[in-house]
């Protein structure tokens, strides 16, 4: 990185790098831990005889990518009566196929599935918002019984309903593919389908990432999913946000967190846990040793709930990200949270998000004491009551650092390298924040450090690359 450029150039270059990364990942997951996918299943694995396929076009499974594969797709389109998707044809040899919002419908999805039977390069397939219905889901599951290369599948917002859930969970019961990540948000799944997922995932440990957000699970569904987590030893990421799990669902999930040893990322935001749910979470955090990311935003937690949750933070040694915005707590609840972290010298928390809470100057002073013990921690809060509205904006951290290195006749790169004890030029965000906080050559405010991190890691990968 050329640190002699203007600040805007630096930010623009980082944005360009982020855009390139986004094209590759197209992901909105702000996930810290790295999910370890299972090994790819070999192609010569025996097919389940009980699974009948409806993908009529015969293709050579060892065929390389030539115009032949395009011909297979074009023939499939003729067979089902749809217009070919040119984007699919142009990108058949890429590892990431993004066909979100293409209006495929069930027939268009079937044509895609036929072509993918023999595809050996696509590992990530996205088909969100295509009205694929249960017919499209069936074609995809049939294809996955023969394709051992696709590992990640996104079929969110496709009106799958209960029949689609039955097709998918039947497939998961005997999952012989290489699939380890599946996104199923917004498909009108209800409590009956929750039992289907329970049955499928109690013994299927291959699925590592599961997104069931924006569905219609209520307390009963939450209880069933909680029971599944007690037995499941594979899931590492689970998104249940925007359902209606309420208290009973919360209690079941929290009970599972006391015994589950694999789940690292859990999003249960917008589920009306309430203060009793917060207490159950606090009790679970006292003993849980794997969870690193927890989102409980908008769950009706007030100061009482914050205090109860804080009891768990006093003992927990693994949680790194805690998102609690849009809960009706005040500065008193926020203060109890951060003081709980202060009591825990073994806490690994890197971020607490209470961005809607209006705090006070006293809170900010107390926070300085917390940061002294945990310099890697960032607490994101709302406005500070009683401060002058038109406060003086601090200069960008990069501007301050540039002024320092100019006086010392060195470079920004050398300065950042001096605080990188491992010398890798790639630092975890928490370590980068801690290093900048503890160095004394260039005094920086935490807000300046936060903005610098946003510039150097615009897409929240969790890694700052200062090269």
What mean pLDDT is predicted for residues 62-68?
49
Query: What pLDDT does residue 41 have?
Result: 43
Give per-residue pLDDT as tens, 113-144: 999 999 999 999 999 999 999 999 999 999 99
pLDDT digits (tens, 9 = 90+) for 335-383: 999 999 999 999 999 999 999 999 999 999 999 999 999 999 999 999 9
Are 278 and 399 in a shared domain? no
Rank 10-19, 170-179, 217-226, 423-432 by mean pLDDT and report only the highest: 217-226
Query: Which domain CATH number covers 410?
Result: 1.10.238.10
Does 444 lie in the same domain as 311?
Answer: no
CATH number, domain of 333, equals 3.80.10.10
C-alpha distances (whole Å) from 216 to each of 133, 219, 220, 223 are 17, 10, 11, 14
Residue 16 lies in a domain: yes
* Percent of the chain residues topping a pLDDT of 90: 79
Q: Per-residue pLDDT averaged across 273-278, rounded?
A: 98
The answer to the question of residue 386 being in a domain is no
The predicted pLDDT at position 203 comes to: 85
Mean pLDDT in residue range 195-213: 96
Q: Among 381, 415, 439, give the residue marking a domain's end.
A: 381
Q: Are residues 441 and 354 in the same domain?
A: no
Evaluate whether residue 231 is within a structural domain: yes
Statement: residue 177 has pLDDT above 70: yes
Q: Judge whether 315 lies within some domain.
A: yes
Report if residue 363 sits inside a domain: yes
pLDDT-based confidence at 8, cuts 50/70/90?
Answer: very low
Does residue 330 share a domain with residue 357? yes
Report how far residue 7's alpha carbon sits from residue 63's, in angstroms, rounded to the nearest whole number. 50
Q: Are residues 369 and 398 in the same domain?
A: no
Greater confidence, 42 or 285?
A: 285
Shared domain for 84 and 205, answered yes or no, is: yes
Mean pLDDT of 202-224: 97
| Structure confidence at residue 127 (pLDDT) | 99
18 lies in the same domain as 126: no
Among 356, 381, 406, where does a domain finish? 381
Are 333 and 440 found together in one domain? no
Residue 69: pLDDT band by 50, 70, 90 thresholds?
Answer: confident
Q: Pick the last residue of a domain from 361, 381, 401.
A: 381
Q: Are residues 54 and 18 in the same domain?
A: no
Domain limits for position 15: 7-23+391-465
Domain count, the chain: 2
User: Is the same domain home to 333 and 448?
Assistant: no
Average pLDDT over residues 163-191: 96
Answer whether residue 420 is part of any domain. yes
The pLDDT assigned to 46 comes to 35
Task: Indicate the angle between helix axes 105-116 and 133-144, nearest 10 degrees.
Answer: 10
Residue-level pLDDT at 27? 39
Residue 1 lies in a domain: no
Statement to judge: residues 60 and 167 lie in one domain: yes
Residues 39 and 150 in one domain: yes
């Amino acid at each position: 990185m050329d640190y002699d450029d203007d600040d805007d150039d630096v930010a623009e270059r980082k944005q360009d790098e982020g855009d390139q990364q986004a094209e590759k990942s197209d992901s909105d997951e702000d996930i810290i831990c790295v999910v370890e996918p299972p090994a790819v299943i070999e192609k010569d694995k025996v097919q389940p005889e009980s699974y009948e396929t409806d993908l009529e076009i015969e293709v050579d499974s060892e065929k390389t990518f030539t115009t032949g594969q395009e011909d297979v797709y074009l023939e499939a389109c003729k067979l089902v009566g749809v217009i070919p998707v040119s984007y699919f044809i142009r990108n058949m040899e890429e590892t990431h196929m993004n066909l979100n919002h293409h209006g495929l419908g069930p027939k268009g999805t079937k044509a895609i599935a036929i072509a993918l039977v023999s595809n050996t390069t696509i590992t990530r397939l996205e088909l969100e918002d295509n009205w694929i219905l249960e017919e499209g889901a069936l074609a995809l599951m049939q294809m996955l019984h023969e394709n051992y290369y696709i590992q990640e599948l996104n079929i969110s917002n496709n009106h799958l309903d209960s029949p689609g859930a039955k097709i998918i969970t039947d497939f998961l019961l005997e999952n012989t593919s290489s699939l380890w990540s599946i996104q199923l948000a917004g498909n009108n799944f209800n409590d009956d389908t929750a039992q289907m997922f329970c049955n499928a995932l109690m013994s299927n440990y291959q699925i590592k990432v599961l997104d069931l957000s924006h569905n219609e699970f209520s307390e009963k569904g939450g209880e069933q999913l909680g029971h599944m987590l007690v037995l499941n030893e594979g899931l590492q990421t689970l998104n249940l946000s925007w359902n209606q799990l309420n208290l009973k669902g919360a209690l079941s999930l929290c009970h599972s967190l006391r015994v589950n040893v694999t789940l690292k990322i859990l999003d249960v935001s917008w589920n009306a846990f309430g203060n009793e749910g917060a207490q159950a979470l606090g009790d679970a955090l006292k003993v849980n040793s794997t969870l690193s990311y927890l989102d409980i935003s908008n769950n009706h937690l007030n100061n009482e709930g914050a205090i109860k949750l804080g009891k768990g933070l006093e003992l927990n040694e693994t949680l790194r990200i805690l998102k609690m915005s849009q809960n009706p707590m005040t500065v008193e609840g926020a203060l109890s949270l951060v003081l709980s972290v202060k009591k825990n010298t073994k806490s690994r928390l890197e971020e607490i998000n209470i961005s809607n809470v209006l705090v006070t100057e006293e809170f900010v002073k107390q926070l300085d004491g917390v940061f002294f013990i945990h310099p890697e921690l960032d607490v994101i809060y709302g406005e500070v009551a009683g401060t002058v509205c038109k406060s003086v904006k601090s200069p960008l951290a990069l501007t301050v650092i540039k002024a320092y290195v100019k006086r010392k006749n060195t470079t920004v790169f050398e300065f950042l390298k001096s605080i990188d004890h491992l010398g890798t030029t790639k630092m975890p965000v928490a370590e980068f924040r801690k290093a900048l906080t503890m160095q004394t050559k260039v005094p920086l405010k935490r807000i300046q450090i936060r903005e610098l991190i946003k510039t150097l890691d615009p897409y929240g990968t969790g890694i700052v690359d200062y090269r």
